[in-house]
Amino acid sequence: MNLSIRVDTSGAILEGKAPAIIQADLDRFVTAATMYLTAEVKKRTPQGVSGAQGGLLSTIQSEVTGRGTPLIKGMVTHGSRYGDVIEKGRTAGKGMPPKGSLVRWLEVKLGLSEQQARRIEFVVRRKIGRRGFEGAHMFEKAVTGNLDRLEAMAEKEGLAIAVELDK
């Protein structure tokens, strides 16, 4: 039986490069995961009367803050005043949507004139207030439906760290 021992006197860990290597790979992972989740949220976002150009879909954005620090954070958000309602839905008995908020939707979805839409908007708002509606859960589903993919991305970066530290 042969026993051998190897002692390295150089390498990323011994040369103090480990923190920079780990931080670079962490930055790369958080950025990639954030971009991936942004695309996944957009795929799941319902398109309203404005389509992708001016509706909720056009307000979905991502941001990565704290690059180069252990506090790096990736966020996927929306900038729409009704985005939270579309995500979470509306609870029955919670009240009606604001006056005038459904006129354009009624025009496009039902092919009504503006005058016709204004006349029936109250009835639609009242029904939504009484019955509510289920949310699209596009942000929630983007995360929960891709946990395996995100874990695989993290493992890949972990392997990259190990390889770089072994050099």
Do 41 and 76 contact (CB within 8 A), yes or no?
Answer: yes
Tokens of 117: 């839409």
pTM to 2 decimals? 0.80
Q: Which amino acid is at 12?
A: A
Q: What is the CA radius of gyration of the chain?
A: 25
Q: What is the DSSP letter of 64?
A: E
What pLDDT is attached to residue 70? 87
**With a cut of 70, which residues of the chain have pLDDT below it?**
7-11, 13-14, 49-54
What pLDDT sits at residue 41?
Answer: 97
Question: What is the tens place of the pLDDT at every residue in 45-70?
Answer: 998 766 656 688 999 999 999 999 98
Amino acid 133 reads F
Distances (CA, A) of 108 to 71, 114, 116: 45, 10, 12
CB 101 within 8 A of CB 118: no
State the Cα–Cα distance between residues 79 and 83, nearest whole angstrom.
7
Give the chain's count of helices (H) and strands (E). 8, 4
CA distance 56 to 83: 6
